Structure 1
Amino acid sequence: MIKKLIPIGIFLIIGTVLCGCTEQNSNQNTTQEKMVLKIFHAGSLSVPFEEYANMFEKEHPNVVIEREPAGSVACVRKIIDLGEKADVLAVADYSLIPQMMMPKYSDWYIMFARNEIVLAYTDKSKYSNEINSTNWYKILEKPDVKFGFSNPNDDPCGYRSQMVLMLASIYYKNPKIYENLILKNTNIKFKEENGTYIILVPPNIEYNTNRILIRSKETDLLSPLEVGACDYIFIYKSVANQHHLKYIELPKEINLGYYEYKDIYKKVDVKLLSENKTIVGKPIVYGITVPTNAPHKEMGIEFVKFILEHPEVLEKNGQPAITPAIAKGNVPEELKGLVKIEN
């Protein structure tokens, strides 16, 4: 009887092990079978896109979303220069898509959200108890104050910050503002042609580190600000709200947030000398597309549709949604009912 039990026991042990292996392999296969949807997006979209990703994965349990936030120009360059592939591209300046992506890497885009530039600070910032919407540039001019902006070569918030400061010189009728803050502290230059102020940004920006802090994207400025390594930063209003920062709202004529002031904004251009590309001042509008070489094009379109169907996520995160969103190009059929198509 004992001899008969031994083989049975061994059989049961082997069976248990095999079942365990089968179950483990099954779990591995299930994980491997999930579609990985890769999204390149502007750093300023990190908070709402994290929420969108969580919501989308709940509705699509077979999908895992990988987000790669970066400066918008850097996001585009990963696709067109480095050969990386993304299923969705969302940038903080919609014009980057027609200028840099079309027609080879994209044949449509949607303008889906707005924003504006503010000057953010904390209680640790020097003169935080004095600064207001009328004296902010005078505070920045103080020699013991350090302020930051993102790299104009990498990030729309960076070149928009330059536009804001130049527009401030125009609005306050004080050319010394841009001179004192930028020209004296960096190798950025400018010239005037036919009433337009053209800011010339070199490929490698040199700057006075005692007065200025520059990072690749605007969200990289948050930690230095919060620990007191920097006193003030130019950043999107939505990001300031999402991170519960104090901020100065700048005049509508200079903050790039209002369509009705578009004729004033376009008085300032930024020329990126590294690409010989000129960016015209205009209201801040976000753009989104699915690249033509997206590995999962249909699911990418589904994610864009999901965003358009849930504008409340953008709204509660301080980024006013454009409703209906404005689309241009060869818009996918699945999206046409959610957008206003313009030629």
Structure 2
Amino acid sequence: MTTGGTPRRRAFLAGVAGGTAGLAGCSGLFGAGSAVSVLAAGSLNDALENGLRERVAQRVTVEAHGSARVARLVAEGQKDPDIVAVADVALFESTLTPPWYAEFATNSVVLAYDGESPGGRRVADAGTDGWWRPLLNDDVSLGRTDPDLDPLGYRTLFALELATDHYDTGTDLRAAIPSPDQLYPETQLVSQFETGAVEAAFTYRSMAVDRGYEFVDLPAAIDLGDPGLAGQYASTSYELPGGTVVSGAPISYAATQRHESPATTTVFDALIGDGYLPEFGFAVPESYPRYTGQLPDGIAN
């Protein structure tokens, strides 16, 4: 079993739950003067607030939600940010269809647990080869995000489906483990974990590393973090509200700049390529940032 350290910064994490609430004033700043507005995946919130801000002189406003919701807010005209950053490039090929975008980081799914709780200890004892057993036996209070709202939610389902085959369980883990009472918004899941409302949670490795969670590192065949296993991941899928079907794929974060200005371009370039993301648990392959589409003048390539 591989774990990601020991729990730390518990008080800090309570603030993440208020990520949307604490940033509520930011949404009203979209389009305001010199501020550059960023609408982003919830899993990027900490990195943008505490990493990106320190690297740019421009005033930056950040609003974070699950990526599927981010995409819908923009597609439906409810939000008009300067920059959009999502946790699944597929959302830029379905719900949103920007003329170009940049992939800038990768991640993987892990099972975080509270080692001080009875359920968390069961997960720890089960380890990499058996983490699913206490979840299947309902011995652990589990938290996960809503697959209709963000990619982490449907990636959790993908991981459970892939685990069924990988471990040859004889039980459909995707059907047997999920239940409605496990669902939390991405920006609130961490507080539920921190306050003890849940004993384990499916989360991104970046979130677990950055926040000092103990976690089980899932095998590459399950964690959606290995580009070489793209074909295997693609055997899974989920239908979003509105009928869009997303298929399993290696996790890749992507961003696009929607409004052009020198300030916005400076912030965008820093967001995708200023070297701060590994500090927050993300992986940045040598080939990134990787661009798709016709880039406007001024975007570094």
With over 3 angstroms needed to count, the CA separation of the structure-2 counterparts of 1:226 and 1:83, relative to structure 1, is: closer
Partner residue, 1:261? 229
Question: What is the number of equivalent residue pairs in this alignment?
Answer: 265
Q: Which residue of 1 aligns with 2:34?
A: 35
Task: Give 1:1-343 correspondences, 5 Å limit.
Answer: 35-57=34-56, 60=57, 63-102=58-97, 106-129=98-121, 130-176=125-171, 177-182=173-178, 185=179, 207=180, 209=181, 213-217=182-186, 219-272=187-240, 274-291=241-258, 294=259, 297-311=261-275, 313-323=276-286, 324-337=288-301
Separation in structure 2 between the aligned mates of residue 180 and residue 159 of structure 1, nearest angstrom: 15
Show CA shifts across 1:230-249 (max 9, x none): 11100000001111100000
Contact 1:87 1:297 in 2 (8 A): no
Q: What RMSD, in angstroms, separates the aligned Cα atoms of the two structures?
A: 1.8
Conservation of the 8 A alpha-carbon contact between 1:38 and 1:87: yes
* Residue pair 1:92, 1:287 contacting (<8 A) in 2 also: yes
8 Å Cα contact 2:109/2:225 also seen in 1: yes
**Cα separation, 1, equivalents of 2:273 and 2:232:** 33
Instruction: Tell me by how many angstroms 1:117 deviates.
Output: 0.2
- Cα shift readout 1:124-166 (whole Å, capped 9, x = no counterpart): 3324332311110001122342111100111000000000000
Residue 13 of structure 2 corresponds to which residue in structure 1?
A: none
| Offset of residue 34 of structure 1 | 5.5
Could you list the per-position Cα deviations for residues 198-247 of structure 1 after superposition, in whole angstroms to 9, with x for gaps in the alignment? xxxxxxxxx2x3xxx20122x41111112211111000000011111000
TM-score, normalised on structure 1? 0.73
In 2 relative to 1, CA 290–170 (structure 1 residues): closer, same or farther, beyond 3 Å? Answer: same
Tell me how far 1:175 sits from its aligned partner. Answer: 4.4
Answer whether contact 1:153 1:159 (CA < 8 A) is retained: yes
Greater Rg by CA: 1
Kindly state the Cα deviation for residue 64 of structure 1 after the two structures are TM-superposed. Answer: 1.8
In the TM superposition, residue 336 of structure 1 has moved relative to its aligned partner by 4.2
Q: Is the 8 A contact 1:43 1:70 kept in 2?
A: yes
**Equivalent AA in structure 2 for residue 317 of structure 1:** F
The amino acid that maps onto 1:277 is T
Quick one: distance in 1 between partners of 2:34 and 2:115? 45
Separation of aligned partners in 2, 1:330 and 1:125: 51
**Distance in 1 between residues matched to 2:192 and 2:300, nearest whole Å:** 43
Contact 1:124 1:228 in 2 (8 A): no
Give the TM-score taking structure 2 as reference length.
0.83
Aligned-pair distance for 1:82?
3.8
Distance 1:256 1:314, change over 3 A: same
Whole-Å separation in 1 of the counterparts to 2:254 and 2:34: 24
Task: Give the unaligned 5+ runs of structure 1.
Answer: 1-32, 186-206, 338-343
Query: What SS does structure 2 have at the residue aligned with 1:134?
Result: helix
8 A contact 2:269–2:300 mirrored in 1: no
Structure 2: state its 5+ residue gaps.
1-31
- Structure 1, residues 157-178: CA drift from partner, whole Å, max 9, x if none? 0000000000001111224123
**Using a 3 Å threshold, how does the CA distance of structure 1 residues 309 and 145 change in structure 2: closer, same or farther?**
closer
Q: Is the 8 A contact 1:119 1:233 kept in 2?
A: yes
- Distance in 2 (CA, whole Å) between partners of 1:331 and 1:123 is 47
CA distance in 1 between partners of 2:299 and 2:106 (Å): 20
Task: Please give the alpha-carbon distance, in whole angstroms, between the structure 1 residues aligned to 2:87 and 2:279.
Answer: 18
